[in-house]
Amino acid sequence: MSLIRAIYLPKAAARAVFSCVCVLILLALPPLITPSKAQDFDFGQTEDIPNELIFRVILPPQFLISEAIFAYEKQGTYYLPIVELAEEFDFLAETEADFQVVSGFAGLEENTYTLDVQRKELTIKGNRETLPENAILQSDYLATDDLYVSLETLNKMWPVTFAIDLPTLTVETTAENEDNLAFIKSRERKAQQVMRLNRRAERLERQKLLPRRENPYSWFGKPVVDYQATYRYNDDTNDLTGDNIFTGVQQVGKFLTEFSANVQLNENGEFDRPDNIRFKASRKSAGEEYLIPNFVRRVEFGDVNIRQRELISNTETGRGFTFSNDNRERSNQFDEITLEGNGPPGWEIEVYNNEELIRIGVVPDNGQFFFEDVVLNFGNNQIKILLFGPQGQVREQIENFSAGGNMLRPGQFTYDAGLLDSERDFILLDDDPRTTPRGIVKSLQTSYGVSRWLTVFGNLTETPDADKDRKYLTLGGLVNTD
């Protein structure tokens, strides 16, 4: 018979006894971690991971070599991918032994080079030297399988000089001499040719998607008439007078006719016959088309106006006709340009003119975008292109264009000619004898756009005076100094 007797211990004493038992058990167990194994768990040791950057590569002032390349920085040294850069510059680069040897020539065949990582050797035009310790970046954290070479080694190896502009994330390139610059420029010309071909293909595709539909003329279109009335009451004489103004537009055949008349209510409560009825018929072509091939784009007859140069007289009015090869709306449009650029594929594009959004788009897969028929207005035009990346990145390009009110785009020639019977209405309603001559105004105005900052003009005008007709010849130029 066993006798078990319980002994009461306070809580503090019980915890102390339990701790001593646990220590004895741990000491009795064989060691689970030997000193040799413990060395493998050095938690304080970490790899020095290089800083990853994305640069674009340019040849100043504006030729884009590459829109985006991965680059790295480690301990103050920048590293660029040699094979990818060689492809962008059209340099020959052949690799061996899993990127351990890279050889070829940079542009011209005389610019040979060989980079041997295993032997730590660099050969330039047959001259061999030892690679610096930090010439090659070795890391398991690189974005591509390319060989990343230090900026200093690339500048020594190739006949171009790379410079890092960190605030704009740009690598600026400078050619060593004119021969190498010419080689790089030839690549630029090829890229521009490809861009033109792509633009032409897109234009043809757009024409297929948006074919032109003819809108045939009708002999008599529906008129649009505006009526405006103004009446006045004189309390002293108890008279009511007023004006009834009618203006309208109607298509007649292939012409757009405009007419207006003012019917007045006199003090006797009777409607007077209109002093005049204004009538004008006009027609102009659309876009670059002609009404008369290679000659006339706009024609007017009826009650017309002929604008004169400031040194001759003001605008002449009367019955007659005018014609011109210029069908632009002079009140606003100056020229149409094509905007071209490069950007990362998939980025969104917004184009502004003086802070007004005029175009939107997305950078295509080839990284080259363009917008055709962008309108420049008279005055100042600040064209801003904004590129928006998927992670909130923003790039901005700004160009300024200015044009005076009478400026023409480069290479454009315009003329305006007209003949009118001065101060004589097309529809005669007064009692003046129709045989009374008021004089014939003849005018020919020509202008030519030499450049965006220079337009020259010449005018020949014959206008009636009190005693005889006066003839004027005016030559001059308009200069935009912005």
CA distances in angstroms from 429 to 175, 315, 433, listed in the order given: 79, 23, 11
The residue type at 399:
E
Is the four-CA dihedral 32, 36, 39, 41 of positive or negative sign? negative
The residue type at 86:
A
- The domain boundary, picked from 350, 372, 403, lies at 403
- The domain boundary, picked from 354, 382, 403, lies at 403
pLDDT value at position 330?
A: 56
Q: What is the mean pLDDT of residues 133-149?
A: 88
Residue 174: count of CB within 10 angstroms of its CB: 13
Task: Tell me, yes or no, whether 375 lies in a domain.
Answer: yes
327 band by pLDDT with thresholds 50, 70 and 90: confident
Give how many domains the chain has, as a whole number. 4
Cβ(302)–Cβ(277) under 8 Å? no
pLDDT value at position 62?
A: 63
Strand, coil or helix: what is 47? coil
Backbone angles phi, psi at 289, to 5 degrees: -75, 165
Tell me: do 418 and 307 sit in the same domain.
yes
Q: Are strands 112-116 and 121-124 parallel, antiparallel or unpaired?
A: antiparallel
Q: What is the mean pLDDT of residues 370-395?
A: 84
Write out pLDDT tens, residues 336-368: 788 888 888 888 899 998 888 888 888 887 778
Residue 208: count of CB within 10 angstroms of its CB: 7
193 band by pLDDT with thresholds 50, 70 and 90: low
> What is the domain extent for residue 382?
333-403
Residue 17 has pLDDT above 60, yes or no: no
pTM above 0.85, yes or no: no
Tell me: do 392 and 419 sit in the same domain.
no
Tell me: do 69 and 120 sit in the same domain.
yes
Q: What is the mean pLDDT of residues 121-130?
A: 91
Q: Are strands 379-388 and 394-403 parallel, antiparallel or unpaired?
A: antiparallel
Please give the helix or strand (H or E) that residue 300 lies within, else none.
strand 298-306
DSSP notation for 347-392: -EEEEEETTEEEEEEE--TTSEEEEEEEEEESEEEEEEEEEE-TTS
- On average, the pLDDT of the chain sits at 80
Closest CA to 374 of 390, 361, 391: 361
Task: Tell me, yes or no, whether 91 lies in a domain.
Answer: yes
Tell me: do 76 and 124 sit in the same domain.
yes
Residue 130 pairs in a beta bridge with 121
Is the four-CA dihedral 305, 307, 312, 314 of positive or negative sign? positive
Residue 141: count of CB within 10 angstroms of its CB: 10
Tell me: do 299 and 417 sit in the same domain.
yes
Cβ(149)–Cβ(134) under 8 Å? no
Write out pLDDT tens, residues 266-297: 888 888 888 788 999 999 988 778 888 889 99
Task: Tell me, yes or no, whether 237 lies in a domain.
Answer: yes
Q: Are strands 255-265 and 239-252 parallel, antiparallel or unpaired?
A: antiparallel
pLDDT value at position 433?
A: 54
pLDDT value at position 424?
A: 83
Backbone angles phi, psi at 18, to 5 degrees: -65, -40
Cβ(443)–Cβ(416) under 8 Å? yes
Tell me: do 59 and 134 sit in the same domain.
yes
Residues 6+ apart with CB under 8 A from 305: 315, 316, 317
- The domain boundary, picked from 388, 403, 418, lies at 403
Task: Tell me, yes or no, whether 262 lies in a domain.
Answer: yes
Tell me: do 248 and 156 sit in the same domain.
no
The CATH number given to whatever domain includes residue 356 is 2.60.40.10
pLDDT value at position 3?
A: 39
Q: Considering the chain, what percentage of its residues have pLDDT values greater than 90? A: 25
Tell me: do 296 and 308 sit in the same domain.
yes
Tell me: do 166 and 62 sit in the same domain.
yes
Task: Tell me, yes or no, whether 35 lies in a domain.
Answer: no
Cβ(38)–Cβ(44) under 8 Å? no
Tell me: do 339 and 391 sit in the same domain.
yes
Calculate ∠ Cα 393-394-399, nearest 5°. Answer: 160
Residue 436 to residue 155: CA distance in whole angstroms: 87
Task: Tell me, yes or no, whether 204 lies in a domain.
Answer: no
Is the four-CA dihedral 173, 178, 181, 183 of positive or negative sign? negative
For residue 298, give both structure tokens.
Answer: 């706009």
Q: Which residue has the tokens 């405006």?
A: 228
pLDDT value at position 384?
A: 92
Tell me: do 249 and 349 sit in the same domain.
no
Q: What is the mean pLDDT of residues 84-89?
A: 86
Q: What is the mean pLDDT of residues 24-38?
A: 46
Residues 6+ apart with CB under 8 A from 202: none
Task: Tell me, yes or no, whether 10 lies in a domain.
Answer: no
Cβ(302)–Cβ(309) under 8 Å? no
Residue 65 has pLDDT above 90, yes or no: no
Tell me: do 325 and 346 sit in the same domain.
no
Residue 249 to residue 255: CA distance in whole angstroms: 11
199 band by pLDDT with thresholds 50, 70 and 90: low
Task: Tell me, yes or no, whether 23 lies in a domain.
Answer: no
Strand, coil or helix: what is 49? coil
pLDDT value at position 417?
A: 94
8 band by pLDDT with thresholds 50, 70 and 90: very low
